[in-house]
Amino acid sequence: MASLASVFSAICVSLLLSPASGIDFNYPAVFNFGDSNSDTGDLIAAGIGDPLLPPNGRAYFSKPAGRFCDGRLIIDFLMDAMDMPFLNAYLDSVGAPSFQKGCNFAAAGSTILPATKYSVSPFSFGIQVAQFFRFKNQVLQLQTKGKKIRKSIPQADYFHQGLYMFDIGQNDLAGAFYSKTEDQVIASIPKILSEFESGLKKLYDQGARKFWIHNTGPLGCLSQNIVIFGKDPSKLDKFGCVSSHNRAAKLFNIQLHTLCTKLRGVFADATITYIDVFTIKFNLIANFSRYGFENPTAACCGYGGLPLNYDPRIACGQTKVLKGRSAMAKACDDATEYINWDGIHYTEAANLHVSSQILTGRYSDPPFADQMPFALKLKF
């Protein structure tokens, strides 16, 4: 596969040839809410679950960096595209992290609905919003404490001028399939989105005006779900993905899109951008060889070997005794050949592809194609 640098170069050249006007992407700060798709270290900082082990982070950070990936996430690429530093996790206090350009409240395993005793993460969307309010209140108090502290926190007006990003809902659907039928999962979608709307309204009432909302991806194409729910070949589509999970994801996205349209009429002077991540990711999986990938659904870092290389008993980098024998979930030699990193999350190479497609503006509502001045600032 072509190097990430050469792919970035191609993106920049294509954007340079397009006129750039009409949309202002010059945000002073970004506040992000979500799950592992955009968690830059929150769950790990909270000390919940197993620690992230090598080879996580190897492609870019050379060590585990709080991300469930071999390198950068979509949000990292988008921050880079806006010429902004990577977002620090809200709960990560080691190393005197700077929050001047925003804060990341996303935590792996999080859901929109309130957490239950079975939840991986206690930091549901409502909790993340509450954490944001505490963060904002603390920042406003610290603004009066002198110039030194102000260098590491957002200015007061950044909370109104900043971009609010959301990538959450995947775990509500994926988790529900373990105890509910497809019809029951689909029936729960309005309740999930009602909770999401409530959180958005609280943020709007506190001054948020610029909303950037990702829909959920093709859950049925994740190695984890194929291994657990795809044992019967009749449950799979022609791409080897679990049909029920993808149907639920599509219906969730239709209703999420409808909610975004509705809120444009409710939230005066707000901008709401809906990003169709599902289509980008599904197109990548369906046409993987066209984009330089060799394995559309197998995990790069896992155990069990092809075709899926995923075993739910052992996470990437772990060594365990299975059936009396030592087993280790190792990484493949070249992750740029894989879309899936660990059975649940995407590789850095796949995240780069998704990010580059988002940056075309063709997969958003409203679209912003040919209006991407910031994309020329991508760092290689």
Question: Which of the following is catalytic: 76, 80, 172, 342?
Answer: 342
Per annotation, catalytic residue among 35, 36, 214, 244? 36
The residue from 121, 345, 353, 356 that is catalytic is 345
Counted residue by residue, the chain has a size of: 380
* 342 is an active site residue: yes
124 in catalytic set: no
Cα 113 to chain center, whole Å? 17
The owner of tokens 């796949």 is 350
C-alpha 290/C-alpha 355 separation (Å) is 17
214 is a catalytic site residue: no
Among 297, 299, 325, CA closest to 312 = 299
Which tokens is 13 given?
């050249």
- Catalytic residue numbers, as ranges: 36, 342, 345
